[in-house]
Amino acid sequence: MTAPPENPFAASEVGALYARGRPYHHPRTLARVLAHAGPAPVARGLDVACGTGMSTRALAEIATDVVGLDVSPQMLGAVSQLANTSFVLAGAEQLPFDAQVFDAVTCSSGVHWFDQARVYAELRRVLRPGGWVGLYDHYFFTMEGVDAFGDWVRELFARYPLPPRNPQVGDPATMMPDGFELVADETFDDPIAMTNDEFVDYQITVSHCVAAVERGTPRDDVRAWLAASTAPLFGNEPARVFRFIASVRVLRRLP
């Protein structure tokens, strides 16, 4: 059996860095989930792999009562308290909740870290019949008007490789778990303007840079390389537009 990966988001200081560096795209992406899941009110929602609570805050805007759950104490330590919201330290594979207590579950940029079969079984257990799961992801792919950005991305991943994720049978983005029906799959562009400093703050929170620090590269060295290597891409522009891809997958629990 292949051992599950270590969690780079349990690294020291990563919660505070994440809270500062990640763009708050979640309401825009969650609006796409709701467009497919339907406008029915959500009495109780669960946000799995909630991190520092950005995705939980978005869910709390459309749900009466929300629980954010994450396995990393460091991430939960950077959470800002929200009205009608509580937070729980636990793993997604063994949810500490009774059966059929949630109307909806969201998960932002977390599904690829999970043991898929165990998590979907748990989601089906805690969801009420007819409840929905909204899985969404968000990642950059181009810098508008800068052809050299692709070369920079290749150099980035050569220098700081992605850490291992949970081994899967098939693509987690296309799995059709038992007990659910597929409601929608969608991808869309989400352009975001960032300054050079903002882009470096974002990159220092991405798993490959976090893992590099955990492997022994000083965080200041990673930040210095990111800043020096991206400065020419910005040139004299105060900010550049990055085109992010947002993906949305909506599942509904069958009776």
Domains in the chain (CATH in brackets) are 8-253 (3.40.50.150)
CA–CA distance, 255 with 245 (Å, rounded to integer): 33
Contact indicator for 136, 247 with CB cutoff of 8 Å:
yes
CA–CA distance, 218 with 222 (Å, rounded to integer): 7
Contact indicator for 22, 205 with CB cutoff of 8 Å:
yes
CA–CA distance, 93 with 95 (Å, rounded to integer): 6
What mean pLDDT, rounded, does the chain reach?
89
The percent of residues in the chain predicted with pLDDT above 70, rounded, is 91
The percent of residues in the chain predicted with pLDDT above 90, rounded, is 69
- Helix, coil or strand: residue 245: strand
H helices present in the chain, as ranges: 14-21, 26-37, 54-60, 73-76, 116-126, 149-159, 196-203, 207-214, 219-234
- Of 94 and 162, the structure prediction assigns the larger pLDDT to 94
Entry pTM? 0.85
CA–CA distance, 112 with 207 (Å, rounded to integer): 12
- Of 1 and 59, the structure prediction assigns the larger pLDDT to 59
pLDDT tens digit sequence for 137-195: 988 889 999 999 999 999 999 999 987 655 454 455 567 899 999 999 999 999 999 99
pLDDT of residue 1: 31
pLDDT of residue 170: 44
Q: Nearest 5°: phi and psi at 142?
A: -145, 160
pLDDT of residue 214: 83
